[in-house]
Amino acid sequence: MIPVPALLSPADGSFTLTASSGVAAPPELAGPVARFVEDLQLDCGLALAGDSGITVELGPVDDVPPAAGVRADGSDVDERHGLEVTVEGVRIWGPTPEAVHRGLTSLRQLVSAQLQDGTAVLPAARIVDGPRFAWRGLSLDVVRTFHAPAEVRRIIDMLALYKLNVLHLHLTDDQGWRVEVPSRPALTEVGATGAIGDRPGGFYSLAELAELVAYAADRYVTVVPEIDMPGHTSAVFKAYPELGPSEAQSIDLGNGDSLHLGTLDPGRDETWAFVEEVLDAVIPQFPRSAYVHIGGDETWGMADEDHAAFVEKASALVRERGKKVVGWQEIARAKLDSEDVVQYWLDLDIDKMGENPDAPTPPADLLPVLVEALRKAKYDAPKALEQGAKLIVSPVTWLYFDRPHADTSADPEQEKARERLGLEFYGAASIEHGISWDPADIVDPDQIAGIEAAIWCETVTSSDDLELLLLPRIPGLAEKAWSRQTTNWPEYATRLAQQSPTWRNRTWTWLQSTEVDWK
């Protein structure tokens, strides 16, 4: 199983699950059971047609501590659960339907790993489990490369299989605007056209987003919207030039993309009219999210006092609308509320960046901008914690999935893709590297809101590219966000290898690393 459970006690005997088995459940658990039956068939082809063998019920679980941090839906739902296999059958219990869903997710993995010729022999055992952190997610860039709803649903399925519960949609950036604002039609008519280079653009209609949010909710995943501001707003200026600076400036990055230096101006009334219209349109499209992500990062060329003023006013507007604020770590340079959440990402040390002779040299015009940004970044996390805010841990070193893969693939075609995927600037990372850290080494667990990886799509040209960077990294993210135990690579590699039949059945693309003996 991935993530590894908190408590596992093997017992004597086994139970055999077949297509004639089924699930007995009270009416209040009909939803999680129906999801389990459908997903199990997609995972491994086993279609349960009976009504016994697996029993699910509501009941308390207190053998493991409750999760730390905050949930993206703002609730205090308990996800702790138990799973017991005896010679008589399987029993799953938990205090909430979501907890039972997590237990059924564990059973999905166990059945898929044991299934042979339509029969799964499950070793007897008792498992009691629960998450270490309440917010466990992935930030998905749908701007630099637009990902259609069908692909986003595949990503949601990946998250759900590994008990991840947040999809943070990065909906706006310099390269495009991907969400409808009916009062500002040019945002999608003009701002949504194109992406990086000659890639096609696009946006999610109101109906498509409603379907995605509902699809995620059915799998106990909360979709959190990000409207990036006051920087990363070139698509806004393309649609509404009157909101932009009088003179646009940019730095060519040499990869088909540019770094744009213009920002929204907090001193102009029309800026705030725009921000309010956007918030009023976007917030209702994400009813399950208690948070709105306001970005706040990389405001190149913006005065510190203007940046702080913008963050403080934008945050106030979010709170006025009944939502909580989350933003990238740079928002810590403004005054925060203790309920705000700060996403810590920039763990690169400017004083050590010259130690790697193989690292590519940034363009000359970009270097001083990066140096200034990295020197300021050292103080962001301490400033956030001093103000009582909690951190979402998303460090580049461990959780940026747009890093190149260091592992070679057994598939020659994947080797060709591996050569061009990921930003060289970060350096390549192995699958083992992704599980060889602990969030507690970065910040006190009591100060952690949650754990979230990020995938940026500068080098991604297709859904296969996207999935190749995400898998098999997503299980490692889940291990770090859910489990309290130290992860041992050889043992983890064995568990990881057992995931491949499900990925194959789901037609997901994954890096077939030669470091793992795939099943």
Catalytic residue chosen out of the listed positions 79, 84, 98, 298: 298
Instruction: Report helix, strand or coil for 392.
Output: strand
Q: Locate all alpha helices (DSSP H) within 139-203, ordered by sequence.
A: 149-161, 186-189
298 is catalytic: yes
Distance of alpha carbon 113 from alpha carbon 116, whole angstroms: 9
Distance of alpha carbon 83 from alpha carbon 125, whole angstroms: 8
- Is 125 exposed, middle or buried, given 0-12, 13-18 or 19+ CB atoms closer than 10 A? middle
Distance of alpha carbon 248 from alpha carbon 263, whole angstroms: 10
Count the neighbouring beta carbons within 10 Å of the beta carbon of residue 117. 6
The answer to whether 124 and 30 are in contact (CB under 8 A) is no
E strand intervals along 412-510: 448-455
Handedness of CA 26, 28, 29, 34 (dihedral sign): positive
Look at residues 402, 459, 417 and name the one whose alpha carbon lies nearest to residue 197. Answer: 459
Count the neighbouring beta carbons within 10 Å of the beta carbon of residue 191. 26
The two three-digit tokens of residue 323, written as one number: 């939502």
Look at residues 199, 97, 94, 93 and name the one whose alpha carbon lies nearest to residue 145. Answer: 199
Supply the DSSP string of 129-145, one letter for each residue.
Answer: E--SBSEEEEEEE-SSS
Reported for 58-61, long-range contacts at CB under 8 A and 24+ positions apart, including other chains, are: 58/26, 58/28, 58/29, 58/93, 58/94, 58/95, 58/96, 58/97, 58/100, 59/93, 59/94, 59/95, 60/95, 61/93, 61/94, 61/95, 61/99, 61/128, 61/130
The two three-digit tokens of residue 210, written as one number: 């409603």
Distance of alpha carbon 325 from alpha carbon 319, whole angstroms: 7
Supply the DSSP string of 307-370, one letter for each residue.
Answer: HHHHHHHHHHHHHHTT-EEEEEGGGGGS---TT-EEEE-----TTTGGG-TTSPPPPTTTHHHH
Distance of alpha carbon 270 from alpha carbon 463, whole angstroms: 38
Distance of alpha carbon 456 from alpha carbon 139, whole angstroms: 8
The length of the chain, given as a count of residues: 519
Q: Give the residue numbers annotated as catalytic, written as ranges.
A: 298
